[in-house]
Amino acid sequence: MREKDVIEKIRPPFRYLFDRYQYQVIGCRLFANTQNWIVVLESLSCGRFMAFQDRGEIIIALGPHGSRESATDSRWFDLAVIVEHLSQGKHMLGSSAGEPEQQLAELADMLQPYMAQICPLFSSLGFEGAEDELDRIGSRREAEIRQQDAGSQTNGDGHLN
């Protein structure tokens, strides 16, 4: 199998990503001596999309711009997690089954209704907003820790131990 063959497996079921959301292939890798592969797409308005095959199972993940082309990057979110979050727990996805082409078709059908909500989550502006919030939470926690550390150095009445 060649990289071109893998990309051509992805293109038909996920045609809407290319046509409507302007995703483009930015990475494709085949793993030696296995049938495993990974394809990464990117859309300027919707972030990154990753599909990979691991021992016959197809896995779909999405993430913000800048997510590395690695399934172990913590900035990727599995489709099941995204669907559960966006549906507020009303829809739970199970694992894929069947031939890879069948799994790709099923996963494409599961993803499509959520794309309008996914784009704001992983767009440049959406991610920047989330990043700022995480920075605020981190700064607040650091201030709380500093305050606790300062409190432990006093005897409770403001005097140093």
Q: Residue for token digits 């038909």?
A: 12
* Same domain (yes/no): 137, 93: no
* Same domain (yes/no): 60, 127: no
Euclidean distance between CA atoms 112 and 53, whole angstroms: 20
pTM: 0.74
What is the share, in percent, of the chain residues with pLDDT greater than 90?
A: 35
Q: Which domain holds residue 86?
A: 3-122
* Same domain (yes/no): 112, 132: no
Tokens describing residue 114 = 């959520």
Q: What is the pLDDT of residues 25-37, one digit of tens each?
A: 999 998 887 889 9
* Same domain (yes/no): 128, 115: no
Q: What is the pLDDT of residues 55-84, one digit of tens each?
A: 889 999 888 887 777 666 557 877 887 777
Tokens describing residue 143 = 């201030």
* Same domain (yes/no): 40, 85: yes
Tell me how many domains the chain contains.
2
- Name the strand (E) or helix (H) holding 107: helix 100-111
Residue 161 lies in a domain: no
Q: What is the pLDDT of residues 95-150, one digit of tens each?
A: 778 899 999 999 999 999 999 988 987 876 666 654 453 333 334 335 755 887 77
